[in-house]
Every structure is written in C-alpha cells, then in structure tokens.
C-alpha cells in the first residue's frame, strides 16, 4: 500500500500531463482552425463552387493573369532584394555596433505599425510631382509614383522588417568559436561568412524571405495609392480583386484570390522544405 501510492500518483500525474498536452494541442489547433483555416476554406469553396471551368475562364481574362503575373514577378524580385539587404542589416546591427543603433533597431519595426495607406501617402509626398525627390526626378524624365517603381518602393517598405527580424536573433545566439576557429585555420573573412555563418543563418533567411513574399503578394493599401492602377499595366492582383468585388464579379475576384493564396502557400511549403533539407544535411 505504502509503496504503491507514489507509483499511482506518478501514473496519475503522467496521465494528467498527457491530458493537458492533449488539451493544449486541441486549443491551439482549434484556434488556428477557427480563425485561419476556416475563412481560407470558405474562400476556396466559394471559388470552386462553379466548377473548375469557370475558375479557369476567370483566370484567362487578360486583366486577371496580367495582374497576377505582375504581382508574382514583383514579389519574387523582392525576395532577392530582401534576403540580401535584410541579412546585411541584421549583420550590421548585431556585429557592428554603432551609436544610435537602438534607434535604427526601432525604426525597422516601423513598417509593421504604420497603416499601409499611410505608407502610400508618404511615398507620394516624397516621390510625387510635388515632392522634393519626385520633382527632381521627373524633371529628368524618371517616373516613380503612378508607375511600377512606385509599387516596388511600397512593397520594399512594407516587407523590409521580415528578413531582418528573422535573422537578427539567430545571429545574436550564434557561437563565435567556430568562426574564430575557421579564421585561425586561415580562412578569409568572406570564406568564414560563406562557409560558417551563412549555413547557420539560412533557415532564418528563408523564413524571412517566405514571409516577405507572402506579404508582397497580398499588399493592397499602399499599392493602390501609388500604382496608378491602369489595368494590364500597373494594376496588381489585389487591386484587380478589389475592382472585381466592387463591380460584382465575385467569381473573378475569388479565382484570383485563390491563385494568390495557393502561390503563397506553395512558396511557404517550398521554403520550409529547403529548411528541413538544410537541417538534415547538417545533422
């Protein structure tokens, strides 16, 4: 009796822990299901309601696929820029302290906090025909606002924090012994970065890139302000979707939304795969 009691208590405790783990898992999955998966599923169901033929017809409209093509191209270009510049920014912040670093650090999060329509407005104030920079450039025949460069600037602004914020903590935790060892063995600084630091940072860079890609696909508020929105020229997919909703073409809007959704899902999955592959190779 005396001996069995603690064992029973331990078993009960173990069962309790299992139960609470189960409860936690249910709570977490229920939450993501209710607030993320359910709306997305509703969108997909509505988009497919009229059958794949009408979905394809909606996508075959020149305005639809041109806007999608523009949006995906820009989002991919932003991955290229953000991975390089974001990693550089994180590197400088962590490894090369400078006066005012905390201010710059705070500045990086700013794009998250600013309503995107204000982002658009800021760009117009700066690069618009009445802006300081805009007037200088337009006198030289360079158009920024109401043209594609305007869209790129808006997307750069709103996606800038992702890679920096993904890479920075990993870089801070990185053990510098390996780098020092490599340097002692005669590796150049570039080799050390490429062979030692970069592989460790890669998963974080990929995460940041994936987030920035998805964000660029869906960005609406700032883009509609600065793009000019001429169909087949400067109209991005989210702006096209908005127009189709406004003109009561829900099928067209849902079809394009579905492509945006699947596109971002695809990239997220691919980048996740790359991460796990990279990790396995390390191990």
Partner 1 sequence: MRYKRFIFNALFGIYGFGVLAAASGCGRGGDNPTDTLLLAAYTVPKEAYEREIIPTFQRHWQQKKGRRVVVQQSYEASGAQSRAVVGGFEADVVALSLEGDVDRIVEAGLITHDWHARPWNGYITRSLVVIGTRPDNPKAILDWADLARPDVEVLYPNPKTSGGAMWCVNAIWGAGLGVGGGATAAPDSAGARALVKGIQARVKVMDKSGRESVTTFERGIGDALVTYENELLLRTMQGRAISFVIPDATILIENPVAVVDRNVDKHGSREVAEEFVRFLHEEQAQHAFAHYGFRPASPKIMKEVSVHFPEPARLFTIADLGGWAQVRETLYGEDGVWTEVVQELARGR
Interface residue list for partner 1 (CB under 8 A): 61-63, 66, 124, 128-130, 146, 224, 228-233, 239, 242-244, 246-248
Q: Whose Cβ is closer to partner 1: residue 149's or residue 231's?
A: 231
Give every CB contact of residue 179 below 8 A, 6+ residues apart in sequence.
192, 196, 197
Give the Cα separation of 29 and 23 in Å (integer).
10
CB of 232 to partner 1, least distance (A): 3
Q: Whose Cβ is closer to partner 1: residue 205's or residue 226's?
A: 226
CB of 116 to partner 1, least distance (A): 14
CB of 27 to partner 1, least distance (A): 16
Give the Cα separation of 249 and 195 in Å (integer).
52
Q: Whose Cβ is closer to partner 1: residue 78's or residue 239's?
A: 239
CB of 231 to partner 1, least distance (A): 5
CB of 126 to partner 1, least distance (A): 12
- Nearest alpha carbon to residue 236 among 213, 256, 251: 256
- As a residue count, the chain comes to 283
Give the Cα separation of 97 and 94 in Å (integer).
7
Q: Whose Cβ is closer to partner 1: residue 53's or residue 185's?
A: 53
Q: Position of tokens 């979707």?
A: 241
Give every CB contact of residue 176 below 8 A, 6+ residues apart in sequence.
none
**What are the tokens at 148?**
């594609």
Q: Whose Cβ is closer to partner 1: residue 34's or residue 232's?
A: 232
CB of 52 to partner 1, least distance (A): 19
Largest CA distance in the chain: 94
Q: Whose Cβ is closer to partner 1: residue 122's or residue 205's?
A: 122
Looking at residue 2, the DSSP 8-state letter turns out to be T
- Nearest alpha carbon to residue 162 among 216, 104, 117, 119: 216
């Amino acid at each position: 009796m005396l001996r069995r009691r603690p064992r029973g208590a331990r078993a009960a405790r173990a069962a309790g822990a299992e139960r609470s783990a189960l409860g936690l898992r249910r709570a977490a999955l229920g939450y993501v299901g209710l607030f993320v998966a359910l709306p997305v599923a509703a969108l997909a169901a509505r988009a497919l309601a009229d059958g794949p033929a009408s979905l394809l017809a909606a996508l075959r409209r020149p305005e639809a696929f041109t806007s999608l093509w523009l949006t995906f191209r820009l989002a991919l270009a932003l991955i290229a820029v953000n991975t390089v510049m974001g990693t550089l920014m994180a590197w400088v912040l962590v490894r090369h302290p400078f006066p005012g670093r905390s201010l710059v650090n705070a500045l990086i999060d700013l794009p998250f906090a600013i309503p995107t329509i204000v982002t658009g407005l800021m760009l117009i104030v700066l690069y618009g025909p009445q802006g300081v920079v805009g007037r200088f450039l337009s006198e030289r025949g360079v158009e920024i606002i109401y043209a594609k460069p305007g869209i790129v600037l808006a997307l750069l602004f709103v996606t800038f924090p992702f890679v920096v914020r993904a890479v920075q903590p990993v870089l801070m935790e990185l053990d510098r012994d390996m780098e020092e060892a490599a340097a002692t063995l005669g590796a150049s600084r570039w080799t050390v970065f490429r062979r030692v630091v970069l592989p460790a940072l890669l998963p974080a860079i990929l995460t940041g890139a994936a987030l920035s890609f998805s964000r660029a696909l869906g960005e609406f508020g700032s883009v509609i302000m600065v793009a000019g929105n001429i169909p087949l020229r400067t109209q991005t997919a989210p702006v096209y979707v908005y127009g189709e909703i406004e003109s009561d073409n829900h099928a067209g809007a849902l079809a394009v939304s579905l492509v945006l959704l699947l596109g971002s899902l695809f990239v997220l999955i691919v980048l996740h795969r790359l991460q796990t592959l990279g990790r396995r190779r390390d191990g």
